[in-house]
Structure 1
Amino acid sequence: MSEQMRIMRSKELPKELRDRIVARHRSGQGYKRISAALKVPKSTVASIILKWKKFGTTRTLPRPGRPAKLSNRGRRALVREIKKNPKITVAELQRCSREMGESSTKSTNTAALHQSGLYGRVARRKPLLSARHMKARLEFAKKHMKDSQTTRNKIFWSDETKIELFGVNSKRYVWRKPGTAHHLPNTISTVKHGGGSIMLWGCFSAAGTERLVAIEGKMNAAKYRDILEENLFQSAQELRLGRRFTFQQDNDPKHTAKITKEWLRNNSVTILDWPNQSPDLNPIEHLWRDLKMAVHQRSPSNLTELERICKEEWQRIPKSRCEKLVASFPRRLMAVLAQKGASTQY
């Protein structure tokens, strides 16, 4: 059987084709000849002619079936509720439906929302951005879009992260349309905080990853300054950045403390003017994700093993991955401009 015939079996034929089948039948052609000429299964030809003889038409007739439990009015009302609050639950939607006099079930409501292009998805966690934050992000993006790739390759990226021995990520679902995951109503705002099983400071450039330092005890400005003193220039040297590199760090209070600023100034370190609440601009965030996935696959059983595996997997990250992430920086800036300073997909 041809591909066209297989499609015909699963889809209703266009009315124009049904009319041609009837016309050929009326001219005296047999089922087999009509089937071969129009490439329609013989059984379909017979069914269309039988229907024409019985009802005198080739139009699609109304089909019997149970009436929909949720009216179009009820479906539109549910869509309006979701537009007002994308984080509304299915149970709350059903309650709204009952208040409107609709007796639909949760599954009926869900199916109706799917027809409207709305699906329950886990809300993305994004930093809470004020108007001031978004303005600063826009200004940063406009300024650094002009940088050359050579300049970007001289950026020395850094950050801290926590890695738990047995971590669990909480999820919350949100109703949204495809392509709207990063729209503000569809995200969960977060604020940066420390803690966890082990805390790590890491750095990298387009030339590859460098030192990964486990932080003992509570992190403070003095400890951060010590980390820089023991690792910053040594790592830059290993990456062959020379002394004219640009150091990137976020605006964590430990990074902007007086003793940190003083050390950076005394050592003539050029600092990238980083906007607040902007982890989506820092490509190291993707390296942290790579690291956590790799560590998780090795299933460390204690904190000592966790630290060792983290350092091993950090060194295994290929240079090509680092190059690719640094090369993505212009696209991140463009995304900020497109979002008018709001959170991006990165």
Structure 2
Amino acid sequence: MSEQMRIMRSMELPKELRDRIVARHRSGQSYKRISAALKVPKSTVASIILKWKKFGTTRTLPRPGHPAKLNNRGRRALVREIKKNPKITVAELQRCSREMGESSTNSTITAALHQSGHYGRVARWKPLLSARHMKARIEFAKKHMKDSQTMRNTILWSDETKIELFGINSKGYVWRKPGTAHHLPNTIPTVKHGGGSIMLWGCFSAAGTGRLVAIEGKMNAAKYRDIPEENLFQSAQDLRLGRRFTFQQDNDPKHTAKITKEWLRNNSVTVLDWPSQSPDLNPIEHLWRDLKMAVHQHSPSNLTELERICKEEWQRIPKSRCEKLVASFPRRLMAVLAQKGASTQY
């Protein structure tokens, strides 16, 4: 299709041209011949002739639907308000509308914003970032963008997470008849306070998953120090990283405590300089999500079973998944730079 035809398809044809199409049709010309002669898409020719046959005219007919209740000026003003404050409520927007001399209902305001391409959505939870945090994230991204993929493949990523026994916060759907909502087969069992939970520490590299450890009791600096002491080098050995791997951990106070730093220094462990408030840079966050989804497919009934299933599913995570997540690290750094240090989509 020519550029001219593409333009014509996207705009309404002049009445004079529509009349010529109908005249040629009445003289016996085919749609294809009219399209070629007048350089109008064949589908447009057909549409115009169909309308002429149905209504007996080629003029523009009144369009269905009610006119917009909010004029363009009012709609632009609303868009300016939500750009200044994306968390503004519809009630507050209605108040702004009244101050501008418009008397708009909530549904009118919502419809106007939808027409402008803006929709209400649940806000994502993201770490609170200060100017200092964002500056550190930018510096980190610039520094490590230069790292080779070989270097990234020697990083042992780590983190802790909590998994609840009945902790899946998603809706479950059932097929049922009216009035049977409380019948046992149509319910999802819950336990007060979630039925308990376990805290896990885990690590992984591009070569696969390392150790996964359940943490007993409340975590403190001394207990955390024991975790790398008992699991770090064994994980590196299992993943064939050698002794010259780089250990990644966030800046949790237990990780940066004196007792932990001394152990890492005494054992010549290279630690990745990590910016605070940056879970979006750590690909292990995606593995935690994978693990939780896999574990709760089993519906474990107690904490012992929960821990066992966690460890089994952790080992089942394929190496290809780990490789893909580590390979995403440069894109995460680029996203930080694009966001000028703010939180990213990761």
TM-score by length of 1: 0.78
Residue matched to 1:194: 194
Q: Write the deviation string for residues 229-283 of structure 1: whole angstroms up to 9, x where unpaired.
A: 1111111111111111111111100000010011111111111111111111111
Tell me if the contact between 1:138 and 1:341 (Cα under 8 Å) persists in the aligned partners: yes
Residue matched to 1:177: 177
Give 3-state SS (helix, strand or coil) of 1:253's partner. coil
Counting aligned pairs with the same residue, the percent is 94
Distance 1:176 1:270 in 2: 57
Superposed displacement of residue 326, structure 1? 1.0
Q: Write the deviation string for residues 33-57 of structure 1: whole angstroms up to 9, x where unpaired.
A: 9899999999998996898899998
Tell me if the contact between 2:164 and 2:194 (Cα under 8 Å) persists in the aligned partners: no
Superposed displacement of residue 91, structure 1? 3.6
Distance 1:152 1:8 in 2: 53
Superposed displacement of residue 82, structure 1? 0.8
Deviates further, 104-113 or 199-208: 104-113
Task: Summarize the Cα distance change of 1:34–1:269 in structure 2 as closer, same or farther, 3 Å threshold.
Answer: closer
Tell me if the contact between 1:15 and 1:58 (Cα under 8 Å) persists in the aligned partners: yes
Task: Summarize the Cα distance change of 1:6–1:115 in structure 2 as closer, same or farther, 3 Å threshold.
Answer: same
Distance 2:183 2:319 in 1: 33
Superposed displacement of residue 213, structure 1? 0.8
Superposed displacement of residue 106, structure 1? 2.9
Task: Summarize the Cα distance change of 1:244–1:275 in structure 2 as closer, same or farther, 3 Å threshold.
Answer: same
Superposed displacement of residue 77, structure 1? 2.2
Q: Write the deviation string for residues 100-156 of structure 1: whole angstroms up to 9, x where unpaired.
A: 454443333222112111111221222111121122112211221222111111111
Task: Summarize the Cα distance change of 1:173–1:77 in structure 2 as closer, same or farther, 3 Å threshold.
Answer: farther
Q: Write the deviation string for residues 187-237 of structure 1: whole angstroms up to 9, x where unpaired.
A: 999999999822110001111001111111111100001111111111111
Superposed displacement of residue 12, structure 1? 7.2
Give 3-state SS (helix, strand or coil) of 2:201's partner. strand
Distance 1:323 1:125 in 2: 27
Distance 2:331 2:56 in 1: 62
Tell me if the contact between 1:120 and 1:174 (Cα under 8 Å) persists in the aligned partners: no
Distance 1:100 1:335 in 2: 39
Residue matched to 2:298: 298
Superposed displacement of residue 333, structure 1? 1.6
Deviates further, 154-163 or 9-18: 9-18
Distance 2:214 2:267 in 1: 24
Superposed displacement of residue 293, structure 1? 1.4
Deviates further, 245-254 or 26-35: 26-35
Task: Summarize the Cα distance change of 1:212–1:20 in structure 2 as closer, same or farther, 3 Å threshold.
Answer: same
Task: Summarize the Cα distance change of 1:178–1:338 in structure 2 as closer, same or farther, 3 Å threshold.
Answer: farther
Task: Summarize the Cα distance change of 1:218–1:137 in structure 2 as closer, same or farther, 3 Å threshold.
Answer: same
Task: Summarize the Cα distance change of 1:189–1:43 in structure 2 as closer, same or farther, 3 Å threshold.
Answer: same
Tell me if the contact between 1:94 and 1:105 (Cα under 8 Å) persists in the aligned partners: yes
Give 3-state SS (helix, strand or coil) of 2:325's partner. helix
Task: Summarize the Cα distance change of 1:272–1:69 in structure 2 as closer, same or farther, 3 Å threshold.
Answer: same
Distance 1:192 1:219 in 2: 23
Distance 2:329 2:189 in 1: 23
Superposed displacement of residue 92, structure 1? 3.3
Q: Write the deviation string for residues 63-120 of structure 1: whole angstroms up to 9, x where unpaired.
A: 4754332222322222122112101223433344345454443333222112111111
Superposed displacement of residue 11, structure 1? 11
Deviates further, 39-48 or 246-255: 39-48
Task: Summarize the Cα distance change of 1:173–1:299 in structure 2 as closer, same or farther, 3 Å threshold.
Answer: closer
Task: Summarize the Cα distance change of 1:300–1:46 in structure 2 as closer, same or farther, 3 Å threshold.
Answer: closer
Task: Summarize the Cα distance change of 1:243–1:145 in structure 2 as closer, same or farther, 3 Å threshold.
Answer: same
Task: Summarize the Cα distance change of 1:61–1:185 in structure 2 as closer, same or farther, 3 Å threshold.
Answer: farther
Task: Summarize the Cα distance change of 1:46–1:239 in structure 2 as closer, same or farther, 3 Å threshold.
Answer: closer
Superposed displacement of residue 297, structure 1? 2.1
Tell me if the contact between 1:88 and 1:175 (Cα under 8 Å) persists in the aligned partners: no
Tell me if the contact between 1:86 and 1:186 (Cα under 8 Å) persists in the aligned partners: no
Superposed displacement of residue 302, structure 1? 2.5
